[in-house]
Structure 1
Amino acid sequence: MSKKALIERQRKRILLVNKYFIKRLDLKRKIKQERSFSKKFQLQQKLSQLPKDSSYIRLNSRCLLSGRPKGVFRDFKISRHFLREMALLGVLPGVKKASW
């Protein structure tokens, strides 16, 4: 189990990303379209004044069950430990243990 503080920090980042997504997208689009260096610089400063955690890049994939940050399968959003356990129990439809 991950620390509760780390899970809460991730939840806070998700809220910030959702809150500032349109604003960030708009500023980035304006920066790409702008030809004047001084105007580009001003737009870049506005972008950098937004909270760091509002950037999509700072999000990590975490297991929904345990909060584990590593070994998370994107399709199921659970860690490899829980994936194996649930697959063996037959909880996940269409998933079976490989054998060759």
Structure 2
Amino acid sequence: MATAADFAKLNRAQKFACRHRNRCKVCGRARGYYRKFELCRICLRLYALRGDIPGVLKASW
């Protein structure tokens, strides 16, 4: 799990604009990122199952 220092480091301005990396707003994860929700796949699933994201439902057929 990320520490407070890690989150502070992520919020600093980057030296180079081309090095920007999309990161999850909750945990800071860089991989498995969903741009529409600004969350990683793990946090997206957690919030969707809890019902915190309106309009997102678990698929069943």
Report the TM range for the smaller structure's normalisation.
0.7 to 0.9
Q: TM-score if structure 2 supplies the norm length?
A: 0.76
CA-to-aligned-CA distance 1:43-72 (integer Å, 9 cap, x gap): xxxxxxxxxx2x322111111111111111
Is 1:70 the counterpart of 2:34? The answer is no
Unaligned runs of 5+ in 1: 17-52
RMSD of aligned alpha carbons: 1.9
Identity across matched positions, percent:
38
Name the larger-Rg structure: 1
CA distance in 2, matches of 1:67, 1:5: 12
Q: TM-score if structure 1 supplies the norm length?
A: 0.50
CA distance in 2, matches of 1:83, 1:92: 8
Higher relative contact order (CA 8 A, sep 6+): 1
Which amino acid in structure 2 is aligned with residue 80 of structure 1? Answer: R
Unaligned runs of 5+ in 2: none
- The ranges of structure 1 where at least 4 consecutive aligned residues each deviate by more than 2 angstroms after the TM superposition are 1-10
